[in-house]
Amino acid sequence: MPLEFVSTSVDGLKLYGVIHFPRRVPAPLVIASHGLLSNKDS
């Protein structure tokens, strides 16, 4: 599965993400989010 690493700044903080692209379309969509009020070491 092809991946694209993305980042942006929000209110002076860096936000990172990984987009997983399907090999075939149409494909189902899943959005997962975690880490609210924490950091990568928690």
CA gap 13, 4 in Å, rounded: 20
Its pTM surpasses 0.85: no
- Pairwise CA distance, residues 11 & 42, whole Å: 21
Which sign, positive or negative, has the C-alpha torsion 10, 12, 18, 24?
A: positive
Average of per-residue pLDDT across 16-30: 90
Beta-carbon contacts of residue 21 (< 8 Å; ≥ 6 apart): 1, 2, 3, 4
Q: How confident is the model at residue 1 (pLDDT cuts 50, 70, 90)?
A: confident
DSSP, collapsed to helix, strand or coil, labels residue 27 as: coil
Prior bond of 26 cis (ω within 30°):
yes
Answer whether residue 3 shows pLDDT above 90: yes
Domain boundaries defined on the chain: 1-37
